[in-house]
Amino acid sequence: PYTFGWTLNGGALAPTSTQTDTNNASVLANALDGAYLVTATNTVTGCPVTRNIQLILDPSRSTPNIIDVSAVD
């Protein structure tokens, strides 16, 4: 199992971002554009691995989720 630590542009994650961790994975939801640094640390050996991720969102490629709900009598 691992523990995960994230930073955004050298500081804390945005308040809108949520981090969900499992034993071997970490997922950020509602992430903003920026330079992310994630460190995964093996809880058995204490060995860390760090990776940089540059996230650039492209709104022109995003498809909005539109839900139309109609009441039926």
Are the CB atoms for 24 and 2 separated by under 8 Å?
yes
Query: Given this model, what pLDDT does residue 47 score?
Result: 95
Above pLDDT 90, what percent of the chain? 60
Query: pLDDT, tens digit, for every residue of 7-36?
Result: 999 999 999 999 999 888 999 988 999 999
pLDDT exceeds 70 at position 65: no
Query: pLDDT, tens digit, for every residue of 29-57?
Result: 889 999 999 999 999 999 999 999 998 88
> For residues 51 and 37, what is the distance between their CA atoms, to the nearest angstrom?
6
